Amino acid sequence: MPPSFKGGIHPEYNKEMASGRAIAPMDPPEEVVLPLSQHIGAPAKAVVEKGDEVLIGQVIAEPGGFVSAPIHATVAGRVKTIEPRPHPLGKSLDAIVIENSGEDKWTQTESWGDSWKEKSTDEIKEKIKNAGMVGMGGATFPTHVKLSPPEGKPIDTVILNGAECEPYLTADHRLMLEHPEPVVEGLEIISRVLGSKRKIIAIEENKPDALEKMRQACSGTEIEVVQLPVKYPQGAEKQLIKALLDRNVPAGGLPFEVNTLVQNVGTSAAICAAVREGRPLVNRVVTITGPGISTPSNLRVTLGTPIQKVIDACGGWKGDPGKLVAGGPMMGFAQISTETPVIKGTSGLLLFSLDDVHIKEEDKCIRCGTCVRHCPMTLAPSEIAKSAQKKLWNRADEYHALDCIECGCCSYGCPAAIPLVQYIRQSKAEIMALRRREGKK
């Protein structure tokens, strides 16, 4: 068994609700809302105006900087407006709204097929960049940036993350079951760009059917398919690297510091589609699940589709609406509106009826140390939270708040129901603001 990482938890996984549901296509809506911020980094800059006619796959917003990604039209139609709209992160941000003409008209793209193997690494990387590729596990880091490690930091190992350790979510599981070939070819493309020799696909042992499918798809290749024990957050990249390679990414560092790159299996499949077929990122697989949805499903959803339309496609709410989470229950974000759209990082929609929502009132810390034992980053979450409560941001920095991966293990285990992750997020934002003011990195 590969080495494990310190900490972690074993929550109720509840994946059986949707794991048996095959991926089904969902019809595009009458109108899509495409935020200019669908990735980590600078927002994209609109290159269309109100009234413009657009085709599917057409670039409608260009990258706003190096760490940024283009946005493409996901339906053919007319640009209705460009204005602030509700965003899954909880605020209104600029978005391009397109009225769907109902015509399946694509912009012209270049399909490479197998000839990608004859292209230069720079050509392949540019193709991936132009397709608007970002990490689809939820982090949304622009892929072309990730595929550009600093000089002197060669990547010897590429890991595809198929752990999908978040409870309830099954989109990656179904993708590996139903479409293993593009996942594998995407890994080959990534490895070609980076010149990496070792290639690993990591899957938790609670997905035996996916393990079998991926091993079959990798037969005759040098790709290793590794079974990992079920433990949250097994899919976090630093923990995955520790578990598979026994390498420790340094505090404040990134995987390239230990010559490793981690990508999500969904990202890998999307890279294959971009490179082979010239298809930009215009849709994705989303798990819609939880006790509050009538029919748990895995749907291929057009980006920009309002969440309400997705809920309707799954039979609507079961019971009175109580809580809606974009993402999984551990790292997802509660939504204030069902009019927020599905974006590149929306891996799941989790619905709870009013009867399922139980809010425990925050109490005082009893210094039990549970959060410290659970933390996979070996932090002291309770001390960072105390610093935040007292607005002692330098103290929070001394406790390495910026190293928190916001996995939620501390909040999950806290008997006093202290919202530790929220306090740590606040600390991180204040520390970064303080550093900017002081001209520090």
Interacting residues of 326 by C-beta distance below 8 A, sequence separation 6+: 88, 307, 332, 333, 335, 340, 346, 348, 349, 350
* Predicted local distance difference test score (pLDDT) of residue 139: 86
pLDDT classification of 441: cutoffs 50, 70, 90: low
Interacting residues of 372 by C-beta distance below 8 A, sequence separation 6+: 379, 380, 381, 382
Consecutive H or E run containing 53 = strand 53-54
Q: Residue 312 half-sphere exposure, CB side, CA atoms within 13 Å?
A: 10
Helices 171-178 and 265-277 sit at what angle, rounded to 10 degrees?
50
For the stretch 110-139, pLDDT in tens is: 999 999 999 999 999 999 999 999 999 988
Q: Which CATH superfamily is domain 111-277 in?
A: NADH-ubiquinone oxidoreductase 51kDa subunit (3.40.50.11540)
User: What does the mean pLDDT of the chain come to?
Assistant: 96
Q: Residue 324 half-sphere exposure, CB side, CA atoms within 13 Å?
A: 25
Is the pLDDT at 439 greater than 90, yes or no? no
Mean pLDDT, rounded, for 45-67: 97
Mean pLDDT, rounded, for 395-399: 97
Give me the CATH topology for the region 24-108+280-356.
Ubiquitin-like (UB roll) (3.10.20)
Q: How far apart are CA 100 and CA 58, in angstroms?
A: 14
Q: What are phi and psi of 94, to 5 degrees?
A: -60, 135
Is the pLDDT at 297 greater than 60, yes or no? yes
* Predicted local distance difference test score (pLDDT) of residue 3: 64
For the record, the structure tokens of 289 come out as 């699940």
pLDDT classification of 4: cutoffs 50, 70, 90: confident
Helices 265-277 and 121-130 sit at what angle, rounded to 10 degrees?
110
Domain residue ranges in the chain: 24-108+280-356, 111-277, 370-438
Is the pLDDT at 217 greater than 90, yes or no? yes
Interacting residues of 122 by C-beta distance below 8 A, sequence separation 6+: none
**CA dihedral of residues 67, 70, 74, 80 (deg, nearest 10):** 110
Q: Where are the alpha helices (DSSP H) in 290-361?
A: 307-313
* Of 305, 289, 252, 277, residue with least CA distance to 108: 277
**Given CA atoms 177, 182, 184, 190 in this order, what sign does their dihedral have?**
negative
Q: How far apart are CA 301 and CA 186, in angstroms?
A: 21
For the stretch 158-189, pLDDT in tens is: 999 999 999 999 999 999 999 999 999 999 99
- Looking at residue 293, the DSSP 8-state letter turns out to be B
For the stretch 228-269, pLDDT in tens is: 999 999 999 999 999 999 999 998 899 999 999 999 999 999
For the stretch 273-282, pLDDT in tens is: 999 999 999 9
- Looking at beta carbons, which pairs linking 144-153 to residues 24 or more positions away fall under 8 Å? 144/69, 145/41, 145/66, 145/67, 146/261, 146/263, 147/190, 147/193, 147/194, 147/261, 149/194, 149/256, 149/261, 150/256, 153/256, 153/257, 153/259
Q: 159 pairs with which residues across the strands? A: 200, 262
Percent residues over pLDDT 90 in the chain = 95
Is the pLDDT at 1 greater than 70, yes or no? no
Ranges of beta strands (E only) in 108-211 are: 157-161, 198-204
Is the pLDDT at 2 greater than 90, yes or no? no
* Of 258, 266, 157, 175, residue with least CA distance to 213: 175
Q: How far apart are CA 394 and CA 392, in angstroms?
A: 6
* Predicted local distance difference test score (pLDDT) of residue 359: 85
Question: What is the three-class DSSP state of 56?
Answer: strand
- Looking at residue 363, the DSSP 8-state letter turns out to be -
